[in-house]
Chains A and B, each alone.
Chain A
Amino acid sequence: MTLNVPRETVVSPAVCKSLGLKALLDTVRGDQSYSILDLGPALEENVRFWSQFSCRLHIQDFYRSYRERKAEIEPEEELEEAALSVLLPFSDETVFDIILAWDLFNYFDLQELGVLVQRLSCWCRPGTKLFALISSLPNISVSPTMFRILNREQMIHEIPTQETRPCPRHQPRDIVRLMARFTVSCSFLLRQGIQEYVFEFK
């Protein structure tokens, strides 16, 4: 008799301090309205957290949409401009004040990221903040981590599966080159081997 062990097992979530999130939120004022692009999935805690601000929250669940498109339509397709117009269907007039990329950068190579960042830049204004977590570990989960905002400086890192894949380990110099239209507002290296970045559009 064999036991059926599910292939995907959720790893115990961990509460982590996030100096990057704190730095990002230090710029958010209660008397202003914000347009926020969340490239992660819809999470109960995050919707609740942002509801305390006057904002419009756009949730795109980008990676899952990308994977579904790649699996069903064009398996060999790289992330390119045409695909982005489907995955991120925003008009040219759209302007975001905050973009939450979470750990998405770990799941694309530099060429693909270049296309993505160029597209995102179309919807930025001077001062737009982009929050990203870039791993320096050799392996990462096959699916992006879910980051649940607990408060201004704490998040739950919920890794959806124990299965891993190699991490591209983007180097800081490559990231700076990639984000040429942004400045690094602040950056923090966490104990888990994750570098938190808050970029600001020039």
Chain B
Amino acid sequence: MIWKKSDEDNPPSQTLIQPPPQTSAPRSQPPSAKERALIGSSIKIEGSLSGGEDLFVEGRVKGKIDLDQHNVTIGTTGRIKADIQGQSIVVMGEVEGNLYGSEQIILRKSSKVRGDLFSPRVSLEDGSDFKGSIDMTSKPAVEAKPSQKDIAAVKPLSYQAPKQDKSGEKV
């Protein structure tokens, strides 16, 4: 008999094949690096987004996106009015706000961006409609901030009410 997930409530006896040891409660572990949250094209969010997994946005977000240890992708239908912090930021849709990429920022040809870019590596494809500045003088501001790795690691994607949010301010 092989131990199955459905047997969790009735653990198998010692004589049966054991499941791999678990160092902590499985349901509280952070999602793997390949997991990502999706904000669909019909979704509108106003407020502050943060969390511990990659994010793909096809909808509308107004406020702030703070995923400085994870990748943020703005899809072709994504419409963002927010500053974005991420490890790698890829834009295919529209963004009005500053982008802080601790590793890289990529503006695809379908992108329209109004704001400033802060990242050690910036790639801009022809056809990208970009107006703003690209800071290539130093490390991005996000790297200078205290690490939020521990917080992000245990925090699922969360939503903060707009009244607590001061996003939209230029940094």
User: How many inter-chain residue pairs (CB < 8 Å) link A and B?
Assistant: 49
Given contacts A43-B126, A44-B126, contact A56 B131 (CB under 8 A): no
Interfacial chain B residues near A56, Cβ < 8 Å: 133-137
Query: Does A42 lie within 8 Å of B130, measured CB to CB?
Result: yes
The residue of chain B having its C-beta at the shortest distance from the C-beta of A43 within the complex is: B126
CA A59 – CA B126 in complex, angstroms?
A: 14
Does A109 make an interface contact (CB < 8 A)? no
Q: Is the interface of A mostly helix, strand, loop or mixed?
A: mixed
Task: Count how many chain A residues have C-beta atoms less than 8 Å from C-beta atoms of the other chain.
Answer: 18
Known interface pairs A50-B136, A55-B136, A55-B137; A44-B131 also in contact (CB < 8 Å): no
Measured in the bound complex, the distance between the Cα atoms of B125 and A51 in whole Å is 14
Mask, A36-75, CB within 8 Å of B = 1, is 0000001110011011011111111100010000000000
Closest B residue, CB atoms, query A55: B136
Cα A43 to Cα B123 with chains together (Å)? 10
Confirm or deny: B128 has a beta carbon within 8 angstroms of a beta carbon on chain A: yes
CB contacts (< 8 Å) of A33 on chain B: these are 137
Other contacts beyond A54-B136, A55-B137: 15, CB < 8 A: A42-B131, A44-B125, A44-B126, A47-B123, A47-B124, A47-B134, A51-B122, A54-B137, A55-B136, A56-B137, A59-B130, A59-B131, A59-B132, A59-B134, A61-B129
